[in-house]
Structure 1
Amino acid sequence: MQRRAGPFLMAVGVLFGLSGCGLNEMTGDVMAAYSADHLIPYVIEYGDVGMACETGVSMGAFLASFGRVTDDPHRAAVPTWVSAGLCAQAAAYEEQLRVLRAFYRGDANEAADAQANERRNHVVAARRFYDAYQRTVKQYGPAGDKCPEFDERYDEMVWLQGMLAAVQGVQHDQASSMTVGIPLDVPRKVERGLKCLDDTRWWGVPQALRAAIWTTVPGTAPEGTDPWAVLQASADKGAKAGVRLAQAVQAQAAFGAGRTDLLKAVIKAHAASLKETPPAKRWKLLDAMATMQIETLSDRLWTQATGHRTPFGELGKLPDDDKGGAVEDDGAFDGLELEPATPPAPSATDQET
């Protein structure tokens, strides 16, 4: 009896094992399709950047892990990885502001601590954004060689996000002393890959990204082309459409080139556009991402000048408005009951030092 039961139990075990493999594969395919068809479009339309980044962090590894049992879900993973990169990016930006506040107070130790943590977050952001770009290439082919055939608009969006992620990945890698080691030829490939997208259909973002690359990578701009004029035209196109990503690219390019006057003008233009044109309904997240980027640059200007970020609800106002460059009391502390700071008593360790 035991001899007969052995083969039977083995067959049952094999059957259940195969069923488990099939179930995992089916689940992975369903999850990838559901994410691309419903989860990602919902998050983009809802427009909450914080929710998007947390969704990317919580779902990214889970979704990508199905690549162990079925085809890699790159179409769904790219936006998820980009969203996860936003979390690390936001953390790096917060540390940048902490550095500036420390400099404003003259606190060298706090500044050094913030700089160290800022670089750590830049590393995480660079890795996530670069992984999103690599997944884009695995799904559609190398950027710059030839244009892929997009089955639907979603695929075009994934391609655009992958190209944008590559540019952001390079920026964060440079800010972390090239810790991740993203190849330096990536921007050139991205510049060529962006030609595969209709600029008007995507709110001027492809041309804006190309122009931003032209301002930083020698020899990439077409002869006789003014990158800054292209950036302005792209920003205007996006502002009219209610998806102001090109404006954020313009602001970042101005900041990177040290063109503070242009940066201030873009911040003001963005704030005015938000009042004039509501975000495009289907693409609220992308517009909110643009505002987050521009608000961060505004926060830098405010923190350098006053020690605190942009006052709530006053994006578009700058600390030196109508003051000839002088910084005055902006009223940020109105209504706050502040007590004089009392320095802590020195500890035994401090006394020994």
Structure 2
Amino acid sequence: MRTLVINAGSSSVKIALLDGHEVVSRETVEPDDAQDALGKVLEERVDAVGHRVVHGGTRFTGPTLVDDDVLAGIEDLRAMAPLHQGPALDALRQARAALPDVAQVACFDTAFHTTMPAAAHTYAVPARWRDELRVRRYGFHGLAHEWSARRAAELLGRPLEQLRTVTAHLGSGASLCAVDRGRSVDTTMGFTPTAGLVMGTRSGDLDPSVPPYVIGEGLDAGDVATALDRKSGLQALAGSSDLRDVLARVDTGDDDATLALDVWVHRARALVAAMAAAMGGVDVLAFSGGVGEHQPRLRAAIVDGLGFLGLALDAERNAAAGVDGEVDAVIGADGHPGAVVVLEAREDLVIAGQVRDLLEDGPLQDDPG
């Protein structure tokens, strides 16, 4: 089966064509260039299309064949993930129009987190909010966290079912997940992808009284919501959403950049520890995502404060991983109870696998009559 995988993120669009498990082509483009890039790959033979969709709410808990009703259901969740749901919907509509006879499958980031216990996903808010308005912790980056936990076990040569893994997917959007023996039991993002870690333009965790306070001081409610998603995080603290720029300015002694980095690292360390606490410990910490894969300095800044969890880095291994092209590597120091790895995020392989699993007895098979 040749599966086209479309991953429309908040800052980039990843497009991959896979023939079974083999990669035919892979490309990452800016959102503005996505339509042209997608148009070119749609000229290839495609048997099925798998789409990463960030929010599935409580309705979509696994890969789902897309029809008009499903498309409307995804649209209904747009307000819960405003940076992501729109691009995914655009890609879905373009692919359906170009390939009307090809199965389109939505694969949801939230689905991996449906295994979280009630204690982890329930907010202490009024019953109507929880029951009628669907207010709960959903969690995101589930496709990436699922891959990271699985691949980390492979790198270590240990069964996934025996490992307590903290997966750290760090990019312009970022989250952590506590994967206890293959199952998500806690994560840092919540009702929307704004919660948790400090991100490129997103605030991360914030006292819930702050928005009504600043609105009461005269700010527009819509502007506040936009600011928390698009004008906060590193952008607000350092004037840049790119950690590479922040690090370069730290090295020049820039005070704003130094504070931004300190805040970013402080939150990351604290939440790694929180994820470990959800599992009663940690056997492996797995870094992925653009920042997690390619910034040894930031990996070190996080792990250097986590020795009490049995985690430590080998300086040479860490410095080499993700710098010279090779990403997947064990970078933890020998003789410590916890392992540390870095690996390439491969949501495309998870999505392609989900598409194959869903369709193997479905519309791509001959009707036996």
TM-score, length of structure 1 as denominator length: 0.24
Q: Which has the higher strand share?
A: 2
1 or 2, which has the higher helix percentage?
1
* Higher Rg of the two aligned structures: 1
